[in-house]
Every structure is written in structure tokens, then in C-alpha cells.
Copies of this chain bind each other. A is one copy, B any other.
Amino acid sequence: MIKKVLKFGGTSVGSIERIQHVANIIKKEHELGHQIIAVVSAMAGQTNELIGKSKAISDEFDKRELDVLLSSGEQVTSALLAGALKKIDVKSKSWLNWQIPILTEGDYNNSRIINMNVEKVNEFLNNNGVAVIPGYQGISKNGDVTTIGRGGSDATAVAVAKIFNADTCEIYTDVDGVFSTDPSKIPLAKKIEKISYDEMLELSSLGAKVMQSSAVQTAMMYNIPLEVRSTFTDRKGTKIFDQQNIDYSKSVTGVAYSKDDAKITLIGVADKPGVAANIFEPLNKAQINVDMVIQNISSDNKTTDVTFTIKRDDLLKTKEILKNNKNVKYKKITYNDKVAKVSIVGAGMVSTPGVTYRMFRGLADHKINILAISTSEIKLSVIIDEENTLNAVKKLHTIFDLD
């Protein structure tokens, strides 16, 4: 018997009609003889509405009470879905965070799931019941309600799949799957049939926000097969596996990009141990998210240049911090606040010679200047002028046979 975790996001349960539709999807799977645990988000808009209420009371609303407040959203969906299932004669029951219980540790608003009690739910599944579990929440050791951060229902689904030893975890959402690039901008974008966890992580950290990254990481760690698919069509989605399960006919799986970036270069930084730490520690403390960092080998063995990118909104604050940083000496600072990052991602890249060359040549052929380069095992990113973004993505999509 196959045990499946099916997770339904906020738009998938965004109205009564959609909840009824989700109940029908579950009924079909259940009639195939599978054991089903459904994990649900709050109805679309609900969490923002509750946050709005808390903010109307205080911008720094008490964190403990915020979790009590927000967790009500998924509770409502769980009850409605369980009721909708019973209405169409599927044995079903909602299981709240404290009823299972789902145990967490960490801070309010930002906890991690550490365990669940599987016994009672498994008994219910063995008696042909469908369990409905609210995502995004749990309870702490002290018995307080805790939530696990925005998008946390994905993390709940993967944790449920891991702890209940499910065979697969399907993420139902409002897109058809993971695409080779942004389908809203590049019409030639194609749905990817299979992708590795690493590639998925690179793509989602690059802006393809179909799934929460930390949930993908957990799935990778415990080798839980994922599938991202649409609630609104019958089409197959994108399967996310371990790399070895994927037959790579293409070296590059997708092209991702992020906009609204800014690039800063410190020229003539003293090249000695600890200098990078000295640069980035105060930025980290100010919660400025540094993305790419590039440091060239020092040409004169005395000074080097350090380039890094940040979100454009953080530029002013970053310049301020650098100016006041007494621990770092440099000759000159330059910055460009209209840059974008374009990346090719593919687990097949390592074994395919010439990918790097083809990317650089392709961009050069179209007169797109590369401002910085950064590579990893399965990713190659370049910083370019923002105005060239879509053009670059389109060309790379074609060059790597993704159209």
C-alpha cells in the first residue's frame, strides 16, 4: 500500500468551491487504494488578513499571540476540508497541532518541526481514514502554539512525509510544475518533467518560488520523492528526486534570474586573513542578505578586489555600514544599482564540457557584457546590466536546447 502526503497551498483552498475540488482530488487518490495524509495551508489571503489585524494593534505584536492568531487559518481549512470529504463519503478527520501533536523547537514565528506522534493517525489511516493536518504550525515543549515561518506548510508536508515514512509527497499548487525559466516572461519556457533536489534548490533560491527551499532541503536530506503539480489541471507535474534517478539528456535544466540587485566592488582591499569576515559581519548583523561574493586572486599579493551583490533596497544601508567599518581598508568603492543575476542550472553540467564557454560566448555574441561570474557544481551565474535580463535569459534558453 502506498502512503502519500498531499499538500494544498493557499490558492488551492482559496474558496469553498476549491476546497470541494481538493476533496475530489483526494477522493480519487484514496479510491486508488492509497493511504492519504492531506496537509493544508490557510485559505489565500487569510494569513495576510490576520497579520493585518495584529499590525493594527501593534507593529511589534506579541510573538506568542501572533502564532495563536495565525494558526487559526489552517485550522479553518482543515475543518472545512475534512467536512467536505465526509460530505462526499470519504472517512476523514482533522488533526490539530496539539491533537497529533506536532512538536517543534525554536522561536515563536520561526520554529522547526522536530517530531510527531504517528500512532493515532496511523491507526486512523489503517482504518481507511484520510487525515487532514494543518500546515505551518505545531506546539513547543511548553505547550505553546508555534508557527514555522511563511510558506511553512511545505515544510510541514515534507516533515509529515518523513516522520510517517510516506512513499511520496505531492505539492499541489497554482502552477503546473517547475519550468525551465519564468513562463510568464519567456513563452518558450517548458515544464521540467524530472529534476534533482540540488537543481530545484538552485532554481528556487533564484526566484522560481514554487516551493519553500528549506522543505526541499529536508526532502533531499531524507530522500523523499516530491512532485510539484497543479490543483487545477490533470496534467503531470514536476518530479523531484535524487540525482541518480535522473537520466540527463541535457546539460542544463533551467535558466533563472533575479532582478532588483545591486553590485558593490571594493577595490584595493588588503589581502590578509579575516578581511572577508570583517567586511560581511556587520552586514549580516544588519540583516542585509549578501548573495554572490567574488574575490579574485590577488595580483600583487598585497591587495585584492572584492565584489558582492545585494538587493537594491539595501544599497544605501550597505554603503553606510561600509563607510563606518573601521576594520576594513580599501582604496576605492564602486557600485552599480541596476544589475541582474542570470544563472544556468543543471546537474548535468559537471559532466558536460564546454557549458561555461557556450554561456559566455552566447552572451558575447549578443553584446551582453558580463560584470561578474560565480560558479558552483550545478550552477553558473553571471551579473549583467539589468536592461539585458530577459534578452539574456531568452538566448541562454535557446542555446541550451530548452525551448
Residues of A in contact with B (beta carbons under 8 Å apart):
16, 19-20, 50, 53-54, 56-58, 61-62, 64-66, 68-69, 71-72, 75-76, 78-80, 82-84, 86-87, 93-94, 96, 98-99, 143, 145
Contact = CB atoms under 8 A, between A and B. Distances in A.
How many copies of the chain does the oligomer comprise?
Answer: 2
B62 A80 contact: no
Contacts of A82: 62, 65, 68
Contacts of A145: 96
Contacts of A80: 53-54, 57, 65, 69
A13 to B, nearest CB: 11
Contacts of A98: 96, 98-99
Q: Which 7 residue pairs of A and B lie closest in terms of their CB atoms, listed nearest first?
A: A69-B79, A68-B79, A65-B83, A72-B72, A16-B56, A58-B87, A65-B79
A124 to B, nearest CB: 13
Contact of A66 (B50, B64, B83, B96): B83
30 contacts: A16-B53, A16-B56, A20-B57, A53-B76, A53-B80, A57-B83, A57-B84, A57-B87, A58-B84, A58-B87, A61-B83, A61-B87, A62-B83, A62-B86, A65-B79, A65-B80, A65-B93, A66-B79, A68-B75, A68-B82, A68-B94, A69-B76, A69-B80, A69-B83, A71-B75, A72-B72, A72-B75, A72-B76, A96-B145, A98-B99
Nearest to A55: B16
B57 A16 contact: yes
A65 B94 contact: yes
Contact of A83 (B58, B71, B75, B84): B58
Contacts of A61: 83, 87
Nearest to A82: B65
Given A58-B87, A75-B75, 15 more contacts: A57-B84, A58-B84, A61-B87, A65-B80, A65-B83, A66-B83, A68-B82, A68-B94, A68-B96, A69-B83, A72-B72, A72-B79, A96-B98, A96-B145, A98-B98
A136 B64 CA distance: 22
Given A16-B57, A80-B57, A99-B143, A93 B69 contact: no
A200 B64 CA distance: 40
Nearest to A76: B72
Contacts of A53: 16, 76, 80
Contacts of A79: 65-66, 68-69, 72
